[in-house]
Amino acid sequence: MPELPEVETIRRILTNGSPDSPSLPGRRINAVSLFNPGSLADPAPDVFTSFLIGRKIETLGRRSKFLLIGLDEGTLLFHLRMSGNLFVEPELSSEYDSPPPRPHDRLHVHLDNQSRLVFNDTRKFGRFWLAANPASVLSKLGPEPFDPALTEEQFFRRLRKHKRQLKPLLMDQSFLAGLGNIYTDEALFRAGLHPLTLSNRVTASQARLLLKSIRETLQAGIDHNGSSIDWVYGGGNFQNYFNVYQQSGKPCPQCGQPIERIVVGQRGTHFCPLCQPYLREET
DNA sequence: CCTGAAACCTGTCTGC
DNA sequence: TGCAGACAGGTTTCAG
């Protein structure tokens, strides 16, 4: 489930809490249960555990698809990859009655209000880090899509610097940080650009529209609390507003032409052949 | 520099 | 019913 809007939704839930999920800021960590050491990227499990115990959670942040939990000392970072999820649930007061880990729970962080932060990740692709300085984990990321410092002109120049297909380029986190398969397809549709368009063929006005489309698509995703697909995650409903993603064969909402599906960079890619015409490069 | 394929994992769905 | 194959919201690494 995790592209930028889904991670942002989780950040907000963990920050503000919900009826059955206490908020995180202000909590102190009492104990840690690491069920799958492979999910821990850094440091070693014993260092990770002993450092966390006694720490106080102060802030919740997000950088692209990373969730950042700021502690009174150090930062806990999570990347959900394909199937990860993060949530807080109550723990019963009796230590003998605390609910057992469900399938695919990889980490429990036990808190001082009889609740626990759970990292659940079916496919084990997700990772977490404990770092003195989060920048050490985030150093390869490109600009944040909503960063006002990313201007249309700058985005245009970055596009022209490469000669790459738009779909893989937009999903390259060092080029732009936060888009994944869903929101890339939806943003390209909104911009009327074919996913195979070469980035150095994009005009200034197309680049302007593309950046605007990316921001509008991500904002719409956030406004709907992200997308809920398959068995993972259940919060948002942006999946009810997809124009092209997983809509193969259905009529384009703009022109009625059937949506097509191709594979680009090993990822399913959905687009309207009429609204997003493929303009081949002149030889 | 760019593209495509494979790897890392588990689960669901489809078609024969 | 069983089973093989395709497919899934991500990222890294390697070959050509």
Nucleotide minimizing C1' to CA distance for residue A80: C10
Question: Could you tell me the sign of the dihedral formed by the alpha carbons of A173, A70, A146, A260, in that order?
Answer: positive
DSSP structure class, residue A99? P
Q: Tell me the whole-structure pTM to 2 decimals.
A: 0.96
**Residue entry with tokens 């908020």:** A23
Give the CA-to-C1' distance from A170 to B14 in angstroms: 31
d(CA A244, CA A267): 14
Give the CA-to-C1' distance from A65 to B14 in angstroms: 32
Tell me, what's the pLDDT at A18? Answer: 85
Nucleotide minimizing C1' to CA distance for residue A103: B10
Backbone φ, ψ for residue A47 (5° rounding): -65, -45
List pLDDT tens digits, range A2-28: 999 999 999 999 999 988 889 999 999
Backbone φ, ψ for residue A184 (5° rounding): -70, -45
Nucleotide minimizing C1' to CA distance for residue A167: B3
List pLDDT tens digits, range A139-149: 999 999 999 99
Q: How far is CA A100 from the centre of its chain?
A: 28
Give the CA-to-C1' distance from A268 to C4 in angstroms: 21
Chain C: positions less than 7 Å from a protein CB are: 7-12
Is A255 within 8 Å of A248 (Cβ atoms)? no
**Degrees, nearest 5: CA angle A17-A242-A218:** 50
List pLDDT tens digits, range A195-244: 999 999 999 999 999 999 999 999 999 999 999 886 555 579 999 999 99
Name, in order, each residue with C-beta under 8 angstroms of A147's C-beta and a sequence gap of 6 or more: none
Is A138 within 8 Å of A63 (Cβ atoms)? yes
- The average confidence (pLDDT) of chain A is 94
Task: Kindly list the protein residues whose beta carbon lies within 7 Å of any strand C atom.
Answer: A 1-3, 6, 64-65, 79, 81-82, 123, 125, 140, 171, 173, 180-182, 226-230, 232-233, 236, 246, 266-268
d(CA A193, CA A199): 11
List pLDDT tens digits, range A148-187: 999 999 999 999 999 999 999 999 999 999 999 999 999 9
Whether a cis peptide bond, with omega within 30° of 0, leads into A43 is yes
d(CA A237, CA A228): 6
